[in-house]
Amino acid sequence: MTLLRRTALATGLACGAFLAVGAAHAQADKFPSKPIRLIVPYGTGSGTDNSARYFTQKIAEKTGWTFIIENKPGGNGFIGLSEVQRSPADGYTMVYTGGTTHGVNSALFKKLPYDPLKDFTPVTPGVFSPMVLLAKPDLNVKTAAELVDVIRKNPGKMAGATGSSFQIMAMEVFKHENKLETTNVPYKGSAQSMTDLLGGHVDFTLVDLAAGLPQIEAGRLKALAVTSPARVDVLPDVPTMAQAGLPDIRLAGWAALFVKAGTPEPVVATLQKAFNSYFQSPDYKAYVGRTGGYYTAMSTPEMMSFITTEIERSKAALQRAGIQPA
């Protein structure tokens, strides 16, 4: 190849790259020019669905954008994520999902029909929902440290209520960090576990704050500690794990917005700006705060690091629980 041809080829490649970048920015300048589909891999009326409908309405009012919510429940979130995988990487199909599909599933299944790190680009977190430590009333413990002390004095004899795979993971982290030996009692849902905790059939639980809040507010159960980085507004007198004198366990159910990997960066940036602007508003803070939730801004690289940690922690915790991937 002559020097002239090499120069012409290099110039052509550079021009092509420049045009591609220019096209991506032009696409972002026009984005969105049509409705955005938001896939929710859970049923209508679920907490994730209700939240998605609330914040998309608020963002639509502020930006003039149009959102179409599509519920695609089932298959541990597989059905909803596959819808995104089949769609173009243009930002017009998003998914609102979280700790199950992009954390615990990697520990539950030997092979997933998607790669949580390679197939999706995080846009922004939507909400973090901390957990709360509760003990049965007749145990007569007033603090988290007292509960841990009772469990340590009765190794293997205390029963902890668990439900979802995320709750099992959380319980294993709590036991591991505090060097506790207890028995896990599985439940299909938090409602029955709350009933049995009140009845003294199990000794304690680490449950999603939204599920435990009604019993706490009614005075039937005492909140001993929360797993958030700071105290939550809805329970200002309840300490974090660290404030309670225990290892600084930070566990939260979470949901975030994703697009298909390969979506142009300017489009992702446009989405981030719109969602982050509302998520940092007093209105949204009050909305998620009613059930103890909170929002923390994260960049795409920070989200990728967070998800990687969630996957690794889930695998280690479920392995300790003796749960083998299917």
Q: Which residues are within 8 A (CB) of 192 and not within 5 positions of it... i.e. 6 or more apart?
A: none
Given this model, what pLDDT does residue 28 score?
61
Say which residue the tokens 């099992």 belong to.
Answer: 168
Which residues on adjacent β-strands are paired with residue 133? Answer: 206, 225
Residue 21 has pLDDT above 70, yes or no: no
Question: Considering the chain, what percentage of its residues have pLDDT values greater than 70?
Answer: 91
Mean residue pLDDT of the chain comes to: 90
Distance CA(292)–CA(276), nearest Å, equals 19
Q: Which CATH superfamily is domain 130-226 in?
A: Periplasmic binding protein-like II (3.40.190.10)
In the chain, residues under CATH classification 3.40.190.10 are 130-226
Report angle CA 176, 151, 200 to the nearest 5 degrees: 120
Judge contact between 257 and 270, C-beta under 8 A. Answer: no
Q: Token pair of 183, please?
A: 């028995």
In the chain, residues under CATH classification 3.40.190.150 are 35-128+252-320
Given this model, what pLDDT does residue 16 score?
54
Given this model, what pLDDT does residue 1 score?
54
The CATH architecture of the domain made up of 35-128+252-320 is 3-Layer(aba) Sandwich (3.40)
Entry pTM: 0.83
Given this model, what pLDDT does residue 201 score?
95
- Summarised one tens digit per residue, pLDDT across range 59-96 is 999 999 999 999 999 888 999 999 999 999 999 999 99
Given this model, what pLDDT does residue 17 score?
46
Question: Considering the chain, what percentage of its residues have pLDDT values greater than 90?
Answer: 74
Given this model, what pLDDT does residue 50 score?
92
* Three-class secondary structure of residue 71 per DSSP: strand
Q: Which residues are within 8 A (CB) of 322 and not within 5 positions of it... i.e. 6 or more apart?
A: none
Residue 33 has pLDDT above 90, yes or no: yes
Query: Which of 32-41, 138-147, 148-157, 190-199 is predicted least confidently?
Result: 190-199
Q: Token pair of 266, please?
A: 């300017």
Return the exposure string of 58-88: e unless at least 16 CB atoms fall within 10 Å of the residue's CB, then b: bbeeebebebeeebbeeebbbebbbbbbebe
Q: Of 85 and 190, which is predicted with more confidence? A: 85
